[in-house]
Amino acid sequence: MHKIKTAMLGLLLCGALPATAGTLADIQQKDELTCGVSEGTPGFSNPDASGRWVGLDVDICRAVSAAVLGDQEKIKFVPLASKQKIVALAAGQVDMTSRTTTWTMKRDTKEGVDFTAIVYYDGQGFMVNKALGLTSAKELDGASVCVTTGTTTELNLADFARANGINIEAVVFEGKKEAFNSYKQGRCDAFTTDMSQLASWRSTLPNSDDHVILKDVISKEPLSPLVRHGDNQWKDAVTWVINGLIEAEEKGVTQANVDQLASSSQDPTIQRMLGVSGDMGGYIGLDQDWLKRAIAAVGNYGEIYDRNLGENTRLKLDRGINSLWSQGGLFYSPPIR
Amino acid sequence: MSDMTETALRTFTPQPALAPPKELKGAVHWARANLFDGGLNTVLTLLSLLLIVSVVPGLVRWGLLDAVWQGDSEACRVEGVGACWSFIGANFRILMVGIYPVEEIWRPVLSFLLLLGVIWLTVSRRVRGIRMVAFWLVLPFIAYWLIGGGYLGLPEVDQSRWGGLMLSLLLAAVGIIVSVPLGILLALGRFSDSPVIKISCVSFIETIRGVPLITILFMASVMLPLFLPEGMDVNNLLRIQIGMILFSSAYMAEVVRGGLQAVPRGQTEAAKALGLPYRHIMFYVVIPQALRHVLPPLIGRCIALFKDTSLVLIVGLLDFLGMLKSSTQDSEWLGFEAESYVFGAFVYWLVCYSMSRYGQHLESAGPKNNH
Q: Which helix (H) or strand (E) holds B26?
A: helix B26-34
Residues of B in contact with A41 (CB under 8 A): 329
CA distance A294 to A60: 9
pLDDT at residue A20, as a whole number: 55
Closest chain A C-alpha to B124 CA, distance in angstroms: 37
- The answer as to whether B228 is a domain residue is yes
SS3 A46: strand
Confidence of residue A146 (pLDDT cuts 50, 70, 90): very high
CA distance B279 to B149: 37
Across A86-96, average pLDDT = 86
The phi, psi pair for B319, rounded to 5°, reads: -75, -165
Q: Which helix (H) or strand (E) holds A96?
A: strand A96-97
- The answer as to whether B352 is a domain residue is yes
Cβ separation A47–B77 shorter than 8 A: no
Cβ separation A81–B94 shorter than 8 A: no
Residues of B in contact with A19 (CB under 8 A): 230-231
A25 reaches B (C-beta below 8 A):
no
CB B136 within 8 A of CB B121: no
The phi, psi pair for A192, rounded to 5°, reads: -125, 135
- The answer as to whether B326 is a domain residue is yes
Q: Tell me the CA distances in angstroms from B89 to B72, B78, B84, B339, B347, one per residue in order.
A: 10, 18, 9, 11, 14
Number of residues in chain B? 371
Which residues, 6 or more positions from B149, have their beta carbon under 8 angstroms from its beta carbon?
B104, B107, B155, B156, B157
Nearest residue to A238 (alpha-carbon basis) of A251, A253, A248, A228? A228
Residue B221 DSSP one-character state: I
Same domain, B307 and B182: yes
Chain A nearest-CA residue for B331: A42
A298 exposed, middle or buried (CB, 10 Å; 0-12, 13-18, 19+)? buried
Nearest by CB to B330, which of A46, A88, A206? A46
Q: Give how many domains chain B has, as a whole number.
A: 2
- The pTM assigned to this predicted structure is 0.82
Number of Cα atoms under 13 Å in the Cβ half of residue B215: 7
Q: Which residues pair with A191 in a beta bridge?
A: A127, A146
Residue A42 DSSP one-character state: T
CA distance B13 to B18: 15
Residues of A in contact with B315 (CB under 8 A): 81, 84
Closest chain A C-alpha to B226 CA, distance in angstroms: 6
CA distance A133 to A137: 11
Same domain, B167 and B60: no
Query: What is the predicted ipTM?
Result: 0.79
pLDDT at residue A306, as a whole number: 95
CA distance A286 to A244: 14
- The answer as to whether B124 is a domain residue is no
Nearest residue to B170 (alpha-carbon basis) of B298, B302, B306, B304? B306
CA distance B41 to B186: 49
Summarize pLDDT for A165-177 with one digit per residue, the tens: 999 999 998 888 8
Summarize pLDDT for A277-319 with one digit per residue, the tens: 888 999 999 999 999 999 999 999 999 999 999 988 888 888 9
CA distance B296 to A149: 46
Query: 10 Å Cβ neighbour count for B264?
Result: 10
SS3 A148: strand
Chain B nearest-CA residue for A80: B316
Same domain, B222 and B343: yes
Cβ separation A51–B100 shorter than 8 A: yes
Which residues, 6 or more positions from B69, have their beta carbon under 8 angstroms from its beta carbon?
B85, B86, B89
pLDDT at residue B133, as a whole number: 84
Which residues, 6 or more positions from A311, have their beta carbon under 8 angstroms from its beta carbon?
none
Q: What is the DSSP string of B97-123?
A: HTT--GGGTHHHHHHHHHHHHHHHHHH
Same domain, B96 and B26: no
Q: Which domains does chain A have, with CATH numbers?
A: 2-121+222-327 (3.40.190.10), 124-219 (3.40.190.10)
Q: At what angle do helices B85-97 and B320-327 cross, to 10 degrees?
A: 140
Closest chain A C-alpha to B79 CA, distance in angstroms: 6
Chain B nearest-CA residue for A315: B331
- The answer as to whether B111 is a domain residue is no
Cβ separation A42–B222 shorter than 8 A: no
Contacts 24+ apart (CB under 8 A), B258-263: B258/B293, B258/B294, B258/B297, B259/B289, B259/B290, B259/B291, B259/B292, B259/B293, B259/B294, B260/B187, B260/B188, B260/B191, B260/B286, B260/B287, B260/B290, B262/B290, B262/B293, B262/B294, B263/B289, B263/B290, B263/B293
Mean residue pLDDT across chain A = 88
Which residues, 6 or more positions from A254, have their beta carbon under 8 angstroms from its beta carbon?
A248, A295, A299, A300, A303
- The answer as to whether B255 is a domain residue is yes
Cβ separation B99–A17 shorter than 8 A: no
pLDDT at residue B8, as a whole number: 55
Contacts 24+ apart (CB under 8 A), A108-113: A110/A6, A111/A9, A111/A86, A112/A9, A112/A12, A112/A13, A112/A86, A112/A228, A112/A229, A113/A86, A113/A89, A113/A226, A113/A227, A113/A228, A113/A229
Residues of A in contact with B331 (CB under 8 A): 42-43, 46, 200, 203, 308, 313-315
pLDDT at residue B3, as a whole number: 55
pLDDT at residue A14, as a whole number: 42
Task: Enumerate the H helices of B159-277 as residue ranges.
Answer: 164-190, 195-209, 213-218, 224-227, 236-262, 265-273
pLDDT mean by block of 10 residues, chain B; 371 residues: 57 81 78 83 92 92 86 80 88 90 90 90 81 86 86 82 90 90 92 90 93 88 74 75 92 92 90 90 88 88 91 84 89 87 94 89 63 36
pLDDT at residue A18, as a whole number: 41
pLDDT at residue B317, as a whole number: 83
CB pairs A-B closer than 8 Å: 127
- The answer as to whether B266 is a domain residue is yes
Select from B334, B336, B340 the residue whose CB has the most chain A CBs within 10 Å, as the one to mutate to test that interface. Answer: B334
CA distance B217 to B104: 30
Cβ separation B331–A204 shorter than 8 A: no
Residue B128 DSSP one-character state: -
Residues of A in contact with B322 (CB under 8 A): 39, 79
Cβ separation A83–B222 shorter than 8 A: yes
A47 reaches B (C-beta below 8 A):
yes
Cβ separation B90–A49 shorter than 8 A: yes
- The answer as to whether B141 is a domain residue is no
Select from A13, A46, A317 the residue whose CB has the most chain B CBs within 10 Å, as the one to mutate to test that interface. Answer: A46
Chain A nearest-CA residue for B157: A76
CA distance B169 to B174: 8
Q: What angle do CA B232, B236, B242 make, to 5 degrees?
A: 95
pLDDT at residue A255, as a whole number: 94
Across A115-142, average pLDDT = 91
Residues of B in contact with A9 (CB under 8 A): 226
CA distance B244 to B160: 18
Q: What angle do CA B5, B11, B15 make, to 5 degrees?
A: 100
pLDDT at residue B155, as a whole number: 86
Cβ separation A314–B100 shorter than 8 A: no
CA distance B162 to B145: 13
Q: Tell me the CA distances in angstroms from B237 to A277, B19, B167, B316, B361, one per residue in order.
A: 46, 66, 10, 10, 34
Same domain, B36 and B95: no
pLDDT at residue A35, as a whole number: 94
Same domain, B259 and B200: yes
Whether residue A15 has pLDDT greater than 50: no
Residues of B in contact with A314 (CB under 8 A): 73, 331-332, 334
Query: 10 Å Cβ neighbour count for B177?
Result: 19
Summarize pLDDT for A178-234 with one digit per residue, the tens: 899 899 888 999 999 999 889 888 888 878 888 999 988 999 999 999 999 989 999
pLDDT at residue B367, as a whole number: 53
Same domain, B56 and B95: no
Q: What angle do CA B289, B290, B293 make, to 5 degrees?
A: 90
Range of the domain at B40: 19-65
A203 reaches B (C-beta below 8 A):
yes
Summarize pLDDT for A16-46 with one digit per residue, the tens: 444 457 899 999 999 999 999 998 889 999 8
Cβ separation A40–B328 shorter than 8 A: yes
CATH number at residue B179: 1.10.3720.10
The phi, psi pair for A31, rounded to 5°, reads: 60, 35
CA distance A234 to A74: 17
Residues of A in contact with B225 (CB under 8 A): 87-88, 91-93
Select from A13, A93, A208 the residue whose CB has the most chain B CBs within 10 Å, as the one to mutate to test that interface. Answer: A93
pLDDT at residue B125, as a whole number: 79
Q: Tell me the CA distances in angstroms from B30 to B27, B49, B81, one per residue in order.
A: 5, 16, 39
Alpha carbon B332 to its chain centroid, in Å, reads: 33
Cβ separation A12–B226 shorter than 8 A: yes
